[in-house]
A and B are shown apart, each in its own frame.
Chain A
Amino acid sequence: MATASPYPSDIIMSKPYLSENAIQQIQAHSVYTTYSRYMAQANIAFKVLEATCKSLLLPVRSFGTAMVLFSRYCLLNNSLDGTFEEVLIACLVCACKIEDTAKRVRDVHGAVYLYSKVAMVAFDACKPKIMTLELQILETVTFDFRIRHPQPYIIKIAKALGASKEIARLAWTISMDTYRTHMHMKRPPHTIALSCLILAGKLKNETNIFPIKSEPYNSDRLSVNHALLDLLDLYMIYLDSTKLGEHKYEKSVFSQLRIAVSKEVENSHVEEHTLSHEQEQAISKQLIRDKTRSDKGTVRYILDWEIHQLGKYEEVN
């Protein structure tokens, strides 16, 4: 630990990506303490936000950003600071601002309550809470608005692979399902896109696009495989509530694929980075957002490349 900074202010660096291990560690301290509890809520959030975005004629990227904000907020905070619906409204309002598709908060509020199965709370009653939540969400993502989505990459990679339109369409559907998971915190969008296309190709039995090399698409085979495992895990358990579930695939298809992929991952002999118990504790403590931090002092938010411009006494979290 560096010597204490002469200034009682904190610096937080944006961490757009987290490892599988870190996510598991943090999960226990977060809003939903287990993955299955999180997934149950994420599935509801997905349905409500999807219907809301459709009715407000919002583009896919606004929906995607809202889901990414939702999953980050749930993972990196230790409690919901408002009702579930208020959090959804705040996430979507934020996403709209980030993606430049601004909507009135009142309209978002109306639509979210329309598609949730709970009684409507009057707008004026929850507005202050939504406003507070919005700032909290911005702090949770540390004002890092570099949220990119896999969909444009699906189109481009599908073209490059010469895949059929059905494959691309199916991959697109799969990519929508990724927003339920933590994948967007673990892998960059082009790797997610590639894994969606591979799964679509396998499901449609389109052999002409295989074998696919990952490197030309700036991904490595191992991370694509890990992304595939995440996808297959999702479909093995939650197939019926996903969008792919509408396509009538047997769950056994996914478990067979999973066996093949996990065998390859195991055989790749990559040293796993294991952390000691203390290290893991330290990580999860740091990553959960301290809600009182910005009340006690000042928090300064930086992006990774800005770290080189800091003075040597400044300690970064």
Chain B
Amino acid sequence: MNDAVMAKYTKDKKVGEGTFAVVYVGKQVKTDRKIAIKQIKEGEFKDGVDMSAIREIKFLQEIRHANVIELIDVFTAGPRLSMVLEFLPTDLEGLIKDTKILFRLGDVKAWMLMATRGLHHCHRLQILHRDLKPNNLLISPTGELKIADFGLARQMPNPKDKMTPTVVTRWYRAPELLFGARYYTPAVDVWSLGLIFAELMLRLPYCPGEDDIDQIDKTFRAFGTPTEEEWPGLTSLPAYPKTVNKYPHPSVQELKMRFSAATENGLELFQAMTELNPADRVSCEEALTADYFTEFPRPTKLAELPGRTE
């Protein structure tokens, strides 16, 4: 960043470094608003400007939603490319790991509601996120949850476009992706959201596979092994393993044991979001109308949510 930007934004300190960018916090001088500056690394271009930077600019420029991170500016200064983003100090992963914080039922509901709303907006704009995980759900100083990191996002494909199945962090990867499906739907994001739901209730990852094969096993162990009748075409997916361990689908009783604090409606939504067959999984729109969101307790108000810094 050069002097010109320093006049408009202040760059205070480095807060993080990823594979393709360095992140700084700063302030928008005029409004005193805190911002994050994501500076794309120079000199480390392997294949030019990083694909994820292009994707992020492409999608975030056109999304405006309370539950999606705001891209305030795109700058070039000399050969460097920088993005100015909304400053979001906390993420859901940090909150989940912070054992000092107690989650109330309403807190989980509020976060799930905000995440589903944000995701619904992305899907409505024909955008697949493809990397939902607690780490990418950021919390604003006022407690609002915002979906971030569109580095793997893409436009929903045309009917015959093949897509790569190696997306989404392993623990949150939907079964169709684990089996190498080249054609998939927004349902992959809903699955990730379902697993985040489980993680919010348990405070532990629900399917922490050690590698891709273990991930399949852990997924089946948690949700039961699907059959060809339940999911037509399942066994002909490219990476469907030759031998699978057969696990029964967990009964309602079993789920109630696993998630002792959850209500029946909550479990119903969780099950609907984690249907193994993507064709049977709920859409974001259907999820938003689930009874879970309207039953007691109500989602916690922003002002009372944990993780706020203001």
Contact = CB atoms under 8 A, between A and B. Distances in A.
A97 interface: yes
Contact of B49 (A7, A59, A138): A138
A134 B45 CA distance: 11
A98 B77 contact: no
Contacts of A8: 3-4, 7
A298 B73 CA distance: 11
A298 B49 contact: no
B45 A131 contact: yes
Interface in A52-95: 59, 90, 93-94
Interface stretch (B14-22, B52-60, B284-292): B52-60
Nearest to A61: B158
Contacts of B61: 143-145, 303
B47 A143 contact: no
Contact of A7 (B4, B48, B57): B4
A298 B54 contact: no
A273 interface: no
A302 B8 CA distance: 16
A130 B74 CA distance: 21
Instruction: Describe B's contact surface by its main secondary structure.
Output: mixed
A199 to B, nearest CB: 25
B48 A143 contact: no
Interface in A89-137: 90, 93-94, 97-98, 100, 102, 104-105, 130-132, 134-135
A211 interface: no
Given A97-B51, A294-B76, A300-B75, A9 B5 contact: yes
B2 A297 contact: yes
Interface of A: 6-9, 59, 90, 93-94, 97-98, 100, 102, 104-105, 130-132, 134-135, 138-139, 143-146, 152, 294-295, 297-303, 311
Contacts of B74: 143, 300-301
Nearest to B84: A300
A298 B48 contact: no
19 contacts: A7-B8, A97-B48, A97-B49, A98-B54, A104-B47, A105-B47, A134-B49, A135-B49, A135-B76, A146-B62, A295-B78, A297-B4, A298-B1, A298-B4, A298-B8, A299-B76, A301-B75, A302-B73, A303-B62
Nearest to A103: B47
Q: Report, nearest first, the 10 A-B pairs whose CB atoms are least far apart.
A: A298-B4, A297-B4, A145-B58, A134-B48, A9-B4, A97-B54, A294-B76, A298-B77, A7-B7, A298-B5
Contacts of A132: 79
A12 to B, nearest CB: 10
Contacts of B73: 300-302
B11 interface: no
B54 A6 contact: no
Nearest to A93: B48
Nearest to B59: A145
B88 to A, nearest CB: 19
B234 interface: no
B309 interface: no
Interface string B35-48: 00000000001011
A297 B7 CA distance: 11
Nearest to A96: B51
Interface string B71-87: 00111111101000000
A298 B58 contact: no
Contacts of B49: 97, 134-135, 138
Contacts of B47: 93, 102, 104-105
A157 to B, nearest CB: 17
B46 to A, nearest CB: 9
Contacts of B30: 311
Contacts of B5: 9, 298
Given A298-B77, A299-B75, A303-B61, A6 B51 contact: no
A135 B58 contact: no
